[in-house]
Amino acid sequence: MRELDQKLRNLKNEFNRSVPTSFSEWDKQEIYDKVQNPNQNKSRGLIPKTITVFAFLATALFIIFIFSKDSFSLFESNQGGGPGGLSKGTPIREDSHDEEQASDTTEEYKTELSRKVHVTFNYHLVSAGDEYDLFTVTKVEENEGKKIVTFESDELIYLEGNLIFEDEWLFQFDEYLYGLSRVPIEMNDVGSSVQFKVEDDIDIMGGYVGFSKEKFFPQISLRTKRIDYIFSGEESEILVHVFNTSEEAELYTTPLEIDKEIREIYNEYRHSHDESLLKDFEPIDILKLYLHSASNQDEETVKTLFGNNSTEDLYAIANVFSEIDQFLLVESIETERISVLLDYEPFVDLTIAKNEHGIWKMYHFVYDKSS
């Protein structure tokens, strides 16, 4: 009998060691309160739980109501074309001072980054000299709370999509994402949407859009050899630098200044019309000489500056220049021809090219794009 009692004690001790049942003072007090006041505990917990359940159900119903509507908007919009008057792929024609609306517009032109097509890098580990496919990291810098990683390539990279102007130039890849697989993407941005922006306004105007008043330009093949990956807080954006291989553009403002040298050559040239006097002239000098001759109503000299014996009004170009504030000279490296892009409607086709003697001459034709 004693042996049996001892075994039972041993089993009890073993149970207590394996399943501890000790209580803190706080635990003991809680148990005591519940035993002494069972009704109070029930009523105290019932109301908060009921309120919590109703609040949860109300919140859930509200969320379901919002997202079940395709065109939900807190306020009715006077514009058509989708929620808040915005339609994906449709540019905003009117200027807006509404920062929230501008932000929404920018959001819709972001590019969704698929998990399948990217070369990725790590924000924390990237350093100058790292290579990612065709790109090499040439610089990593931090400035004014931003970290900028610069990637450059020896090869020309083509990116196809849409150019959009919304106070700045944006780029959005089309559905085929052509060229995106060449662009290094920070690993945390994969699966999200990132805004691509475009640097170099002059090259965009000279190589793609001119002085068009449109804001949306579809099916653009953008050429680049450099991108800047910019990190600011939780946001990141990619800045694409345009690289034009066949053209060089330069922007000028009007009126053009007719310097002393041009005046002196004009005074000699208007008497002899000797082309050798113009052998050192650049295309912009020919334009200046033409405008100066036109302002003096010197018809004979004006005629000699055109290479196509144009029957158009010899002073038409001068009249256009009196109405514009700026223009572009776009040089074609392959053909050695200069296209003069004028901020003017109707469209004016003005080209400067060398004649058989190597002297720059003007060629022009005026027509209306709408005709």
Token digits of residue 330: 């776009």
118: nearest Cα among 187, 192, 173, 171: 187
What per-residue confidence (pLDDT) applies to 40? 47
Q: Go through 58-83 and write b for each residue having 16 or more CB atoms within 10 A of its CB, e for each that does not.
A: eeeeeeeeeeeeeeeeeeeeeeeeee
Task: State phi, psi for 167 to the nearest 5 degrees.
Answer: 70, -15
Provide the 3-class DSSP secondary structure of residue 148.
strand
Q: Around Cβ 88, how many Cβ atoms within 10 Å?
A: 9
Token digits of residue 235: 């946001």
Instruction: Average the pLDDT over 62-68 and give the result.
Output: 58
Euclidean distance between CA atoms 103 and 100, whole angstroms: 5
Strands 235-242 and 216-232: antiparallel
Q: Which alpha helices (DSSP H) does 153-223 contain, by range?
A: 201-204
Domain residue spans in the chain?
Answer: 109-244, 250-366
Range name among 2-6, 58-62, 136-140, 344-348 with the lowest pLDDT average: 2-6
Maximum C-alpha span of the chain: 144
What per-residue confidence (pLDDT) applies to 45? 45
Which segment, 37-46, 106-115, 127-136, 193-202, is predicted with the most confidence on average? 127-136
| Residue that has been written with the tokens 């509507």 in this structure | 69
